[in-house]
Amino acid sequence: MLGHDIIVIGASAGGVEAATQLVRSLPADIPAAVFVVIHIAAHSKSVLPQIFQRRGHLPATHPKDGEDILHGHIYVAPPDFHLLIKPGYVNLAHGPKENRHRPAVDPLFRSAAQAYTNRVVGVILSGSLDDGTAGLLAVKKVGGIAIVQDPEEALYDGMPGSAIENVQVDYVLPIAEIGEKLVTLAHEPVETNNNSVDSQLAMETDMAELDSEAVQSLERPGKESPYSCPECGGVLWEIKNSNFLRFRCRTGHAFSPDSLFAEQSDALEQALWVALRALKEQSGLSKKLAQRAKAQNHSITAKRFAERAQETDAKADLIRQVLLRSKNETINTEHTDANVEDNDLETDVG
């Protein structure tokens, strides 16, 4: 009988170091395949496979689409692609972003749960916000095992903390103990799971692949919400997994509560910058027209345009103050932190 031989690992800010420590502790003969998603910018260069291979005992690669799944191998999600698992092989999908990321953790965990049910072990490491919680819920729903890095140890406790709050986690462990637990689980026989995968899990997995039937289907999991998708402007549907609330639009963009709030904040900031530009242009035009009217001795018109310029400058100054106050907010630092770690380690790899 096979053991828990499908290990899926998700992390974000602070996750490169944590994942490196974890894979270092895995022996070369582990009877399991390991899959890793760490948030990374779409157009950046990822050297995670080289890092894992240099520091650990297992070969690590960015897999090719359709590549066979082998025990004793680490498959790392490449930039700008969701890493998905099919029975026996890997699927790379340029589907809609989830929780503001591609690759994202939830699609990997969800696809593993659909393909391998209770043979899956889901591991959540350091990261901001709450990506991975919904995916870990899917793993648990089909009988898999949930492991979370101890939040007290994690550099960023957002993802571990969210998982612990919303999922019946099997083990909360420091990094030093997670590897040993994975080896034990990989050797423990797993009874065949006859539970069928529900339609919602299958639909959401298909949407990550931008499957035409899933995108065009009029059916959507959950209920329609009053909120719009920050990515495409479509209606968001509210989805509840246990007590964990999520949102997904018709084209497949998905958000956890924290990621939706962060994306709305970014959209609001962008709108403020557009408004500031428009007001400054309007102010400049008003001043020019005031000067032109004054030169033509049209004093009433000149006064009117001068007053408009003052009013517009006052509005622009209010927006400028709002932007300055929000400058030090750290809502969107997760992505930057993960990239900084990756770049720092790239130098180490050489």
Segment holding 34, helix H or strand E:
strand 33-38
Catalytic residue among 5, 131, 157, 337: 131
Instruction: Write the Ramachandran bin of 233: left for phi over 0, alpha for psi from -120 to 50, otherwise beta.
Output: left
Tell me, yes or no, if 39 is annotated catalytic: yes
Q: Measured on CA atoms in the order 318, 319, 322, 324, is the torsion positive or negative?
A: negative
Task: Give the span between the Cα atoms of 140 and 194, in whole angstroms.
Answer: 15
Peptide bond into 103 cis (omega under 30): yes
Within 12-157, residue ranges assigned H as helices are 15-24, 48-55, 105-116, 133-141
**Tokens of residue 164, six digits:** 């612990």
Segment holding 317, helix H or strand E:
helix 299-325
Segment holding 146, helix H or strand E:
strand 145-149
Q: What's the distance, Cα to Cα, between the start and end of the chain in Å?
A: 42
Tell me, yes or no, if 44 is annotated catalytic: no
Catalytic residue among 39, 73, 82, 335: 39
Catalytic residue among 4, 5, 12, 46: 12
205 to each of 36, 39, 84, 148, 255, how far by Cα in Å? 17, 19, 8, 23, 15
226, amino acid identity: P
Q: Phi and psi (nearest 5°) for 224?
A: -65, 135
Tell me, yes or no, if 131 is annotated catalytic: yes
- Which residues form the catalytic set? 12, 39, 131
